[in-house]
Structures are given as C-alpha cells and as structure tokens.
Amino acid sequence: MSLIELREREVNAVFTTGIYCRAGCSGRPKRSNTAPYPTAMAAQAAGFRPCLSCRPDRRPEVLIDGATPEVVRQALMLITDGFMDGNTTDVMGRRLGISARHLNRLFEDHIGATPTLVAQSRRAHFARRLLDETNLSVTDISDASGFRSVRQMNRVMLSVFHFTPTELRKKRRKTDRLVVDGGLRLRVPCPGEVDFAAVLEYLEPRVIPGVESVTDGAYRRVTDNCGCPGVIEVSTGQDETGLELVAHLSSFTGLQGDVARCRSLFGMDVDISAARSDLAKDPLLGPLVSSRPGLTILGSWDRFETAIRMILGQQVTVKGASTLAGRITSELGVPVPGFDQIGLGYLFPSAERLAAADLSEVGIPRTRSLAIRSFAGAVADGSLDLYDHSELPDLIARLRTLPGIGPWTANMLAMRVFGYMDAFPSSDLGLRNAFANLSSNGAPSEKGLEETALSWSPWRALAFNYLLRP
C-alpha cells in the first residue's frame, strides 16, 4: 500500500478535545496536541470520539488488505457475518483454533482494536447510519443493528460517539437522509472505485433463477432476515460514489447482516489498492488495469450457495450451470411467496437438505451429484469449515480430498468462497484463451501459465479477473 493510501486511512487524535479527525479536517490543533492513528477503529479503541465536522466515522473502514494474516481475515469475516453477536472472543478463538489471548494480540497488532471492540464498533456505526439516513424508530434500529436491547445500544453509542441515539438523530444533516420510496434505502459506501457495471456483467449470466436476478441495472435477491424473508435490491447510488441498497422486509431485525453480505458479494471489504498498483506495472496486465481500474475480487452473498454454484460450473457452460442451480432451488429450496412479479420466489436449500437429497431427480449427473452431496455433508457435519484459515496450499489439498473437487474447483472455491486473494485456477480454459489473445507466444500450457502467474502473487485472484474480463 502506498504512503498516500495509508494517509487516507489515517486519522489524527486531539488530546485536548478527545476527538479524532480526518487528515484534511478544517480544525488546526497544535501538532504537539495530536497523535496519528492508522484507522478510526484504533483511535476509538484509545478512547477518542469522532469529529462532528469532518465525520471520519462515516468513511468506509476497510480492514482487510494483503498484509492481513489469514486468521485475522477470517475472524473479520466471521464478525462481518454476525458471529460475535452471540459469542465471545474465547468462542471465536476455539472456532479458529487459537487462544483468545493470541487472537486479541493479533487484532491489536493489525487492526488496533480487539475483536469485541470491532464487533461493537460495527454495530454502533451501522446504527449511526440508520439514524442519519432513515426514519426508523430507535427500537427498530437497535434490532436492525444486532443489539440485544435499546439499553445496550444506548450504552454502546454513548461510549463510541459520546452521544445517545436520540441526540445523534438531532444532529443529522438534511443531506444525510435518503428519500424513501418503496422500501428502506441505505447508502453502502465503497472504499474506492468499484466497477459496478462489470460486476453486474459478470453476475447476470450466473444468477440462480428464483433466488437472484440482474435487471434494469440492479441486483436483486431473496433473503431470509431472521426468519422474515424479503428482497434486497442493490444499484448505483444517486451520487455515484457508492452503492444504494433498498430493503423490502417485513422486519429489519438483522438488517446489518444483509448489508454485510452485500459488501462481501461486491468485493467491498478488501483493500486491493496495493494489488492494482502492483499489477499495473506488469507489461501484460498493465493495460487491463488501466482500462478497468474499478475491477475487484468478488466474494459471495452466501458462502455455501456460492460453493454449490461453483461445483455446478464444472465442465458445463455458464448458462448450463445456472439452469441446474435453478432446478435444485425449485425442487429443494424454501418457497418465498409475494415476489413472483419480479421473478423471485425461493431461498437456496440448506447444506443439510442437499446432503440428503436425490439430485438425479433434477437432472444432475451422478458424478456431480456425488460432489455436491459430499460437499454439503462436510459443511453440515462441521468437518469442512467455510471460514477455514489454513494456508492456501493446505486448503486446496483439503478441498481436493472431497469427491469431485479437482484443482479448478478448489481454486475457484478458495477465491470466491474463502476469499483467498492468491488463488489461481490455472486450468481454466477461458483463462488460457484470454492469455493467448494478449500474449504473442500463443496459448500457454497449464504449467507455463502457473509459472507466469508467480510474478502476480499475492494478487493472482485479481489477475485472474482482469484476464477474463478485459
């Protein structure tokens, strides 16, 4: 990461006022009264509150980058998915195979705050955004943000912002609130440039019929929000500086989880500025990076759902894989009435349901059926953790022990499901053809492509995306 990029994330804490500000804040305190912190989270952990003028707390906090240890990255993803809402650091440590003390130490070294404080801060800042941008009641905001009670939210908000939720709502600006028309609207700030059009171009032919769709420049899908199914719609924001999420839900309890899954799907939780900078220097990839500066590494809305979609994509066309996924959903998914007019009506089946299903009835070939059922069974019984933080070669080796999981599928799973930025499906035929079109040496062998890709490490997943979407 460049010095400029680091400075953009850095905040200045002012000892005399107890606040922290963005680097470009109009306030001019004496330098002797200030101290830099690498992130707003670290300043908050030290006891400082955000400035009400420059509002550093509204800037997206990207915590994952190329220097983040794998165990910390997976812990952050667990926090993003709400793991800490009902668990302790001890429980998370056991889940990740390390002690709570060591986990806290890693977080202090790389994030500047403990896992508990990170989870608490995420809830508080999400609640602050709802206070600013919506007219939801304080009670509804407490539920949507993952707090156990309004009393807990009041206590946490007072700790983080030094104001109660009611006081913060009185301080919101006219420009903060979004116009509500047919659903609850929220801004989803981007950490940098995200090529939303390219994301939709990739997702459209790969959607699971009945579960998700891409139409009219928007991504829509069915979601199960704490037992209350609804639809989430994502499009480019009105100010084009981020995305805009519209939630059509009967209850907003757990809404924070839907926003987190949106960020994951569109690759907004990973800081890849350093990756783009490195790949831009490569003679082959440099022109691609320049032409598509906002290309990112996509994640997943639901890890298990994405994994099954990857397995279905083995040796079939993109359209064929989506058709098979739609059949599975219509036969084994959970029906959600009320959204037929927009072509949505199912939740994707659970791992337990797929593990026990006879997939021959929906036209899945025997070998593919075995792979899906084995994968689903491993997830259902806990022998495969979708938050595995092993070294990439170890994860690939573990995935390949499952029936029907070869090198291509294992690397695709590592990239899209587990979030490894250095995964590289070198056997992908489309990748080899794309490389051949750019290189004067013709189509390389798989081994030759792997050797060439070594110079792109540790960003080979992003290189893969640039090669396939020039």
Unique residue bearing structure tokens 């390389």 = 444
Residue 452 falls inside a structural domain: yes
Q: Could you read off the pLDDT of 387-401 as tens digits, one per residue?
A: 988 999 999 999 999
- Picking from 138, 170, 202, the residue at the C-terminal end of a domain is 170
Domain co-membership, 130 together with 198:
no
Domain co-membership, 105 together with 247:
no
Domain co-membership, 184 together with 329:
yes
C-beta neighbour count of 348 within 10 angstroms: 26
Helices (H) and strands (E) in the chain, counts: 22, 11
What's the pLDDT score for residue 248? 87
Residue 448 falls inside a structural domain: yes
Domain co-membership, 196 together with 269:
yes
Domain co-membership, 24 together with 162:
no
Residues designated as active site:
21, 428
Domain co-membership, 185 together with 271:
yes
Residue 90 falls inside a structural domain: yes
- Picking from 58, 79, 104, the residue at the C-terminal end of a domain is 58
Q: Position 324: which residue type?
A: L
CA dist 204 and 198 (Å) reads: 10
By residue range, what is the domain housing residue 154?
70-170
What's the pLDDT score for residue 6? 38
Q: Position 457: which residue type?
A: S
Residue 88's Cβ-side half-sphere holds a number of Cα atoms within 13 Å equal to: 5
Domain co-membership, 320 together with 377:
yes
Domain co-membership, 157 together with 210:
no
Domain co-membership, 87 together with 210:
no
What's the pLDDT score for residue 85? 80
Domain co-membership, 360 together with 438:
yes
State how many domains the chain has: 3
Residue 64 falls inside a structural domain: no
Residue 354 falls inside a structural domain: yes
- The domain that contains 121 carries what CATH number? 1.10.10.60
Which among 364, 338, 75 has a CA at the least distance from the CA of 349? 364
Domain co-membership, 266 together with 324:
yes
C-beta neighbour count of 456 within 10 angstroms: 22
- Burial label for 50, CB within 10 Å (0-12, 13-18, 19+), is buried
CA dist 402 and 372 (Å) reads: 10
Q: Position 222: which residue type?
A: V
- The domain that contains 47 carries what CATH number? 3.40.10.10
Residue 89 falls inside a structural domain: yes
Domain co-membership, 193 together with 283:
yes
Structure tokens at 73: 């990255």
What H or E segment, with its residue span, contains residue 176?
none
Structure tokens at 428: 């992908």
- Given CA atoms 428, 465, 270, 142 in this order, what sign does their dihedral have? negative
pTM: 0.78
What's the pLDDT score for residue 238? 65
Structure tokens at 212: 């998700």
- Picking from 170, 194, 228, the residue at the C-terminal end of a domain is 170
Residue 63 falls inside a structural domain: no
Which among 43, 41, 42, 10 has a CA at the least distance from the CA of 25? 10
Average pLDDT for consecutive 10-residue bins of the chain (470 residues)? 44 87 75 82 83 73 71 88 87 93 92 88 88 89 90 91 90 63 77 82 93 94 82 80 84 85 88 87 91 87 95 89 94 88 92 93 88 96 92 95 94 94 90 82 80 92 86
- Burial label for 217, CB within 10 Å (0-12, 13-18, 19+), is exposed
**CA angle, 73 then 74 then 75, to 5°:** 90
